[in-house]
Amino acid sequence: MIRLNDITSLVQSYHPKADIELIEKAYVFSAKAHQGQIRLSGEPYLSHPLEVAYILAQLRMDVVCIAAGLLHDAVEDSDATLDEIEKLFGGETATIVDGVTKISKMHFVSKEQHQAENVRKMILAMSTDIRVILVKLADRLHNMRTLGFHPENKQIRIATETLDIYAPLAGRMGINRIKSNLEDLCLFYLEPEIYAKIKDETGQRRGEMEKFMTEVKAILSAKLSEVKIQAAIKARQKHFYSIYKKMVDQDLNVNQVYDILAFRVIVNSIKECYEVLGHIHSIWKPVSGRFKDYISVPKANMYQSLHTTVIGPLGQRMEIQIRTWDMNRVAESGIAAHWRYKEEGSVATKADQKQFSWLQQLLDWQKNLQDPREFLESVKMDLFPDDVYVFTPKGEVKSFPKGATVIDFAYSIHSEIGEKCAGARVNGRMVPLRYQLRNGNIVEIITSAKQHPTKDWLNLVKTPRAKTKIRQWIRTEEREEGINLGRALLEKALQHDGLSQVNVFKSEQVGAVAKELSFHSVEDMIAQIGFGKLSPRQVVGRLKPRIDMEIDRSRGLVSKMVSRFRRARPDHGIKVNGVSDMLIHFAKCCSPLPGEQVVGFITRGRGITVHLASCRHVREADPDRLVPITWEAVGKEAYPATLRVTSVERKGILADISAIISQKDANIIHAEIKTTVDNKGIAFFTIEVESYRQLQEIVRAIKKVKNVLIVERV
């Protein structure tokens, strides 16, 4: 087990003036917080924070980071609070501990590549201080090293998560040591047989490889001392996971993977790097297309080196990397190398931190962007870098621009869920629609059948998808309103000109007029009337001559038609010229009831329409087409009538009115309620009555209902 002393002496070795007291204080605090807790390995819990702090010291981190490493589990796994930590160790330490705690609380169920990428971005976005990620990586590394004490299903879950999320994250941060360490541990738990095989085979070839390494080193160092370049030559076996990757990618057996050795030449200057490259190529033949110059074009994680592959002394390929000592440090510790103590021992400044947050964004762009448009989009996103990442209840991660609300989330699932979104539960608590998503939120949308988008929603959403869908919905809604209003206006104009028999949606003549005015459809034309962009008079003006022509053609056919419409029909209680079995229907404009004064209007092809004698349409109609009709005493038959009831808004008023209508033995076939701006309720009831008398009784009764102002027949 690592002891405090191991850590402090390691820190002092790279930073003699370090504030060791802070580390000691953190150690005492952590020991007290985790007192009595035991790891599955049987070791005291404290061994874990100690190991984590030691890994951070190996990365040559500053004391704040190492203290945070010692304290990283204190808030989650003991009674200690963040406030205490802030008071005792300062804001920076507290921020790091808080960040690590938040990430540790989340469970990633990453099955898809795309999801894993989102999770990695979420972790980056949540880490306002880059040291949060470094502590988290050290934490994960030690947990992976002690994973053997867990049951198998947990081993697989954690190893999968590590391979999907944390190893790539370490790679992105340029910390190759941790990355390859994590990858090998993952391979051990996820592919134990392959791991054993690689270990076995490479073990058997060890002698042969040692010989080969010695030979290459000897040739190289002879050449370099001849040209007087001071260099360190290192040879190592590639880590198991990279051998495994080669086997999978190229479909090879372990013993078919030849270049399992990698050589590294470390020199003092960049100039010497290129010189060494020349000398290597003069000794061994380079494999074309394998040379990479990461010195002039560094990787986004700041990695720099020359890479070349040559045909070695035994005729096999070998990779050689050439770099300076500075570059070597960056290659091993990546971003951590930049967070270390400065030469003179000063801690990283605020300006550095700013640079790191910029760096963090740069790291984000490192996604092998090939399409320049994609790159631009990515840059755009990162100039406003505040994306937030949240979970669905199933653990899927979704990303949103900062300021996005639960409505954005709802639309990202499905536009229907967006339209019906009434609120949400975030981490189990109810929140309103305007709630802005925060990193790590678990969001569950609540829908309501009564909900629908409004114009206000446009101010609440941030995603283009939600904006477009809401606008679409509003447009459709407005169009419907436009059509309704347009229809009413057009019908009124038609009535005025005595053309109320025209069905605006079905009439061929109206369709012809729409075409004449170059609309795509009758509906388009009517919507434009509703929007006030087309006058109904214009339409009627064009319609009237067409209809008059039709009527002219039908003039004189009255008697013929009357006989044509004679056929067996259910008894409707109407006699036309004393004949009772005519094809008749009741006019919708005035809905006559038995007992009222009526008159018949002969239509083209639809029989006789029964109007009230007082109906304006009758007065304006062609007298040649009117026929006298009378009511007959008949059995029960229901006739529709519509009432408009204006009232002051009151709870229960509709129930009262409905009750009266059914008490009077009438059926309600349709009811519609509107509220006016001045808080009046206007209700339309279409009811079925048997006689005019019954209707009058109902009207009288409704008038007596409290708060009812006007009852009229429409």
Residues that bind Mn ion (CB under 5 A): 73, 139
φ, ψ (nearest 5 deg) of residue 231? -150, 150
**Angstrom distance (rounded) from CA 370 to CA 178:** 28
Instruction: Classify strands 608-612 and 584-586 as parallel, antiparallel or unpaired.
Output: parallel
**Angstrom distance (rounded) from CA 623 to CA 89:** 101
Using only C-alpha atoms, the chain has a radius of gyration, in whole angstroms, of 42
Say how many CA atoms lie within 13 Å of 655 toward its Cβ.
Answer: 3
Residue 296 CB, nearest approach to Mn ion (Å)? 41
Which residue number, 46 or 466, has a Cβ lying nearer to Mn ion?
46
Which residue number, 70 or 437, has a Cβ lying nearer to Mn ion?
70
**Angstrom distance (rounded) from CA 418 to CA 496:** 44
- Phi and psi based region of residue 334 (left: phi greater than 0; alpha: psi -120 to 50; beta: remaining): left
Residue 355 CB, nearest approach to Mn ion (Å)? 29
Contact 258, 281 (CB under 8 A): no
Residue 72 CB, nearest approach to Mn ion (Å)? 6
Which residue number, 144 or 510, has a Cβ lying nearer to Mn ion?
144
Q: Which residues are catalytic?
A: 76-77
Estimate the share of the chain in helix, then strand, then coil, as percent rounded to the nearest 5. 50, 15, 30
Residue 146 CB, nearest approach to Mn ion (Å)? 10
Residue 45 CB, nearest approach to Mn ion (Å)? 9
Contact 700, 687 (CB under 8 A): no
Helix (H) or strand (E) holding 236: strand 232-237
Which residue number, 136 or 246, has a Cβ lying nearer to Mn ion?
136
Residue 66 CB, nearest approach to Mn ion (Å)? 14
Residues 6+ apart with CB under 8 A from 47: 1, 2, 39, 41
Tell me the residue nearest to Mn ion as measured from the CB.
139
Contact 490, 497 (CB under 8 A): no
Which residue number, 102 or 264, has a Cβ lying nearer to Mn ion?
102
**Angstrom distance (rounded) from CA 520 to CA 563:** 40
**Angstrom distance (rounded) from CA 711 to CA 698:** 10
Residue 104 CB, nearest approach to Mn ion (Å)? 7
CB-neighbour burial class of residue 263 (10 A; exposed 0-12, middle 13-18, buried 19+): buried
Which residue number, 74 or 280, has a Cβ lying nearer to Mn ion?
74
Contact 531, 482 (CB under 8 A): yes
Which residue number, 78 or 415, has a Cβ lying nearer to Mn ion?
78
Which residue number, 104 or 451, has a Cβ lying nearer to Mn ion?
104
CB-neighbour burial class of residue 33 (10 A; exposed 0-12, middle 13-18, buried 19+): buried
**Angstrom distance (rounded) from CA 89 to CA 476:** 59
**Angstrom distance (rounded) from CA 500 to CA 253:** 87
Which residue number, 80 or 657, has a Cβ lying nearer to Mn ion?
80
Contact 12, 66 (CB under 8 A): no
Which residue number, 30 or 591, has a Cβ lying nearer to Mn ion?
30
Which residue number, 170 or 388, has a Cβ lying nearer to Mn ion?
170
Residue 205 CB, nearest approach to Mn ion (Å)? 38
Tokens of 32: 């007290």
DSSP 37-78: -B-TTSSBTTHHHHHHHHHHHHTT--HHHHHHHHHTTHHHHS
Strands ordered across the beta sheet of 574-576? 574-576, 626-631, 598-602, 608-612, 584-586
Instruction: Classify strands 680-689 and 667-675 as parallel, antiparallel or unpaired.
Output: antiparallel
Range 396-431 burial, b when 16+ CB lie within 10 A, else e: bbbbbbeebbbbbbbbbeebeebbbbbbbebeeeeb
Question: What are the CA-CA distances from residue 655 to residues 435, 517, 646, 683 (Å)?
Answer: 37, 47, 15, 12
Q: Could you tell me which residues are beta bridge partners of residue 323?
A: 266
Tokens of 11: 């820190």
Tokens of 419: 């339209």
Tokens of 242: 């990279």
Tokens of 481: 């309103």
Residue 315 CB, nearest approach to Mn ion (Å)? 49
Which residue number, 98 or 139, has a Cβ lying nearer to Mn ion?
139
Residue 49 CB, nearest approach to Mn ion (Å)? 7
CB-neighbour burial class of residue 207 (10 A; exposed 0-12, middle 13-18, buried 19+): exposed
Helix (H) or strand (E) holding 710: strand 708-713
Residue 102 CB, nearest approach to Mn ion (Å)? 13
Classify 220 as helix, strand or coil: helix
Residues 6+ apart with CB under 8 A from 297: none
